[in-house]
Amino acid sequence: MLPGPYERWYTEMAGRPSPVEARSTCDSCVMEPGSPGLPPEGAFDPALRCCTYHPHLAPHLVGGILAGGSAAGQAVVRARIAAREGVTPLGLGPTPAWEATYQRVTAVPGTFGHSHEILCPFLAASRCTIWEHRGAPCAAFHCKFDRGAYGSGLWQLIVIAFNAIERALARWLLGRQGLEVKLCDDLLHAQGDRALEQRAWGSWYGREEAYFVAAAELITPMAWADVVAIGGRELSELGPALRGAVTRFAAMTAPARVQRGGEVLYRIGRAGHTVLQHSAVPFDVLEVPTPVAERLQKLQPGPLADLVSELGLDDDLVRRLLDWQVLMPAP
């Protein structure tokens, strides 16, 4: 489920709730050591899970934490406001020091889910302390998708949509609260400049917590129609576009002709089987009989029916091969 008011707006836009990824369970992490279906790279560190990332939280999400979030989440936000680190009228994000560490650490492959240096500050006792206000990128991340790379693609569209929504709401909020967009944007790239900070915050300087709580009070109750009225044409076109994408996702049918997908790794699995791994879902795998994998690696564009007949594929495996984009529509 999406955080805060986002689930409500999504439902109003798409005509249905956001997707539920049944194979990605945060309460019982499926990437811990010993879990079935782990990728060849292995499990996450159970103390970190997938929380080796720092979200950027929009002002109304920060306000939601302060107004009704957990004590642990509130403590992190208040400490950051007091230290004036990573906090601007546009929200709360990573500090420059954290960002520099993240760039250094993630330059080495395989650090996601393993490096304590880039642990999210909002994780405590292996639990997210801001779950109801965590932001779209965190809500959209799933280690495993019920529909593989195809499902990952839909969630990427959802993140893009809510990034646009947050930008529109941020511009509106700054104007509503008497702040200048350019000064606030400049502050994002010049944290530590105290003179600029005072100009950017204006009359809210020293009252940052009240600013964020007011943002939540103004934005959280909004209906999608209210958000569209604020965002104008950009957001008025967003709803129909997202609804169309969701409808196509739900109604996808097998193409008449297929070809081999180009972003799939083929790895040795258990005896008689090969593990397929798509770059868009690096922590998930699809296991197929090795003769099927060998045939797919050599596949030339042709009728799907011929491939099904040749390999004796059932409908479920065909669907999964399409969802993982091991098979792609061919002209």
- DSSP, residue by residue, 71-100: HHHHHHHHHHHHHT-SEETTEE---HHHHH
Q: Is the same domain home to 234 and 95?
A: yes
Number of structural domains the chain divides into: 2
Q: Does 72 reside within a domain? A: yes
C-beta separation of 37 from 29 below 8 A: no
- Supply φ then ψ for residue 38, to 5 degrees: -70, 150
**Would residue 46 count as lying in a domain?**
yes
Residue 143: its pLDDT value, please? Answer: 95
Whole-model pTM: value is 0.93
Q: Are residues 182 and 304 in the same domain?
A: no
Structural domain that includes position 304: 257-329
For 136, residues 6+ apart whose C-beta sits below 8 A from its C-beta are 2, 3, 6, 158, 159, 162, 163, 166
- Alpha carbon 76 to chain centroid distance? 22
C-alpha–C-alpha distance, residues 53 and 326, integer Å: 29
236 within a domain of the structure (yes/no): yes
Clarify whether residues 240 and 263 are in a common domain.
no
Token couple for 70: 């957990």
In a domain, 1, yes or no: no
Residues 179/202, Cβ–Cβ less than 8 Å:
yes
Same domain, 262 and 239: no
Beta-bridge mates of residue 244 = none
Residue 284 contacts by C-beta under 8 Å, 6 or more apart in sequence?
Answer: 23, 37, 39, 143, 144, 145, 148, 277, 278
Cβ–Cβ under 8 Å, residues 89 and 211: yes
Q: What is the pLDDT of residue 187?
A: 94
Same domain, 164 and 304: no
Q: Provide block-wise average pLDDT over 10 residues at a time, the chain (331 residues).
A: 94 94 91 91 93 96 97 97 96 94 94 95 93 94 95 96 96 97 93 92 97 98 96 91 95 96 90 93 94 94 96 95 96 93
Provide the pLDDT for residue 91: 97
21, 151 contact by CB (below 8 A): yes
Do 86 and 134 belong together in one domain? yes
Residue 223 lies in a domain: yes
Last residue of a domain, one of 231, 250, 269: 250
Domain boundary among 222, 250, 278: 250
Residues 113 and 262 in one domain: no
> Shortest CA distance to 245 belongs to which of 78, 19, 48, 71?
19
Alpha helices in 108-263 (DSSP H): 136-140, 148-176, 181-188, 194-201, 208-219, 224-231, 233-250
Residues 272 and 245 in one domain: no
Q: Both 113 and 218 in a single domain? A: yes
On whether the CB atoms of residues 290 and 276 are closer than 8 A, the answer is no
Check residue 192 and give its pLDDT: 84
Residues 159 and 104 in one domain: yes
Task: Judge if 184 and 102 occupy the same domain.
Answer: yes
Which one-letter amino acid corresponds to residue 149?
A
Q: Is residue 128 assigned to a domain?
A: yes
Beta bridge partners, 327, equal: 260
Looking at residue 162, its pLDDT comes to: 97
- Last residue of some domain: 250, 282, 311? 250
> Is there a domain that residue 71 lies in?
yes
Residue 37 lies inside a defined structural domain of this protein: yes
**C-alpha distances in angstroms, 166 versus 111, 172, 181?**
29, 10, 14
- 322 in the same domain as 199: no
